[in-house]
Structures are given as C-alpha cells and as structure tokens.
C-alpha cells in the first residue's frame, strides 16, 4: 500500500492541526510525514532516533520507533495506536546523539469506529526512549545517593580523626601531669635531704617526719 503523505513543520507556530485517518483496529496502515522548518525541507541530523508519541482518547499513551530518510519519517498504525476510536493527539519526536530532543507540531490521527472490533484492551505503550529517560533519572538519583554516602563517610572519618586527636591530647595531658607530680616529688625529696629531715615515700608521696623537741 502506498503511504499516505502529509507535511509537518518543526516550528510549533500554532498552525491548524493536520488530520490523518485510519479505522479502529488498523494494523500496518502506512504514513509518511514530510518534515519542514519554516517552510523549507528539514534534514534530520545523522544518528538521530525518531519516534511517534501519541495520547489516545482514553488518556493512555503510545510511543513507537519510526524510520526516516532525509526529511521523511515513515510509520504505520499498530494495535495500540488504533485500538480506541476517536482523535489521537500525535507528534513526531527527534532525539539527537547529543541528548537533544525536539518535536514537530502536533497532528491528529482520527480513528474511525469499527463496529466489529473487540477483544483488545487499550493500555500505555512506551518504547525505549521513555525507558531510557527513566533509567537516566534513576542513574542520577543513584549518583546523588552515592555522593551523599561519600560525604557522610568523609564526615565520619573527620569525626574519628577529631576523636583520635582529642584522645592523643588527653594522653599528653596525663603524661604532663605525671611528669609534674614526679618533679614535685623529686623537689620535696631534695628539700628534705638538704634539711636533714627524715622522710619516706609512700605511693609516690614524700612524707616528712619531724621529731618533737624534748
């Protein structure tokens, strides 16, 4: 079947919505969108990924990859695109290799009721672009959590270092006190010897013994 061709501009200028049609339940009905930019042919950047994004009348969403060549985008109806009768709001989205994303102006796919269709339920169909965006968001969250953990670990290390420093300072103070006590004891001992006063040392304390005068 020859694809139905229509034109879309890359500048959302508020132009009247282009309408294309299909029947409810159509599968593989082909279309080709000719992309323009301010009225001139728009060449899709090399390496770009192209998708059809759509909002169905029941508010379920649909996305699916499309093929392209130059400024032409090719796509077909699928089960989930044509499952609900009514107007489906659509756009073509281009995603560049540099992470850029740009959509065409919207167009309407009018799905005409098929009186014999049945047995197919509408649901949301999201292809890898949306999944990749979700994965990127999750990766960003993981990166943020990892940085938070790294910061917390750094804080814990700093606190441990501070505790070590305080412990070392306390140990230094204790050693200084012991040294001062020893120095005082040695001084008292020297004084006792110089005065020829009987003395004893008990538990590090110098005890002087004076005789009462008779």
pLDDT tens digits, 127-184 = 655 566 666 668 778 887 878 778 777 777 777 777 777 767 667 776 776 676 677 6
DSSP 82: S
How far apart are alpha carbons 87 and 58 in whole angstroms? 10
Work out the burial of residue 38: count CB atoms within 10 Å of its CB; fewer than 13 is exposed, 13-18 middle, 19 or more buried: exposed
pTM score of the predicted model: 0.58
Determine the Cα–Cα distance for residues 31 and 110; give it in Å rounded to an integer: 13
Kindly indicate the confidence band of residue 124, based on its pLDDT and cuts at 50, 70 and 90. confident
* Mean pLDDT, residues 20-37 taken together: 95
Give φ, ψ of 124 to 5 degrees.
Answer: -85, 135
């Amino acid at each position: 079947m020859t694809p139905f061709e229509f034109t879309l501009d890359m500048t959302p200028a508020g132009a009247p919505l282009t309408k294309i049609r299909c029947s409810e339940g159509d599968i593989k009905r082909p279309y080709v969108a000719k992309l323009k930019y301010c009225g001139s042919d728009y060449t899709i950047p090399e390496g770009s990924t192209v998708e059809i994004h759509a909002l169905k009348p029941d508010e379920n969403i649909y996305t699916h990859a499309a093929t392209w060549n130059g400024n032409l985008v090719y796509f077909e109806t699928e089960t989930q695109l044509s499952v609900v009768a009514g107007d489906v709001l659509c756009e073509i989205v281009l995603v560049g290799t540099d992470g850029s994303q740009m959509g065409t102006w919207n167009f309407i796919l009018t799905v005409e009721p098929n009186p014999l269709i049945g047995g197919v339920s509408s649901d949301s169909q999201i292809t890898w672009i949306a999944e990749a965006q979700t994965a990127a968001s999750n990766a960003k969250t993981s990166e943020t959590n990892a940085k938070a953990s790294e910061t917390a670990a750094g804080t814990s290390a700093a606190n441990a270092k501070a505790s070590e420093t305080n412990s070392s300072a306390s140990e230094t103070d204790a050693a200084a006190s012991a040294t001062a006590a020893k120095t005082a004891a040695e001084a008292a001992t020297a004084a006792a010897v110089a005065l020829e006063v009987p003395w004893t040392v008990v538990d590090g304390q110098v005890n002087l013994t004076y005789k009462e005068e008779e």
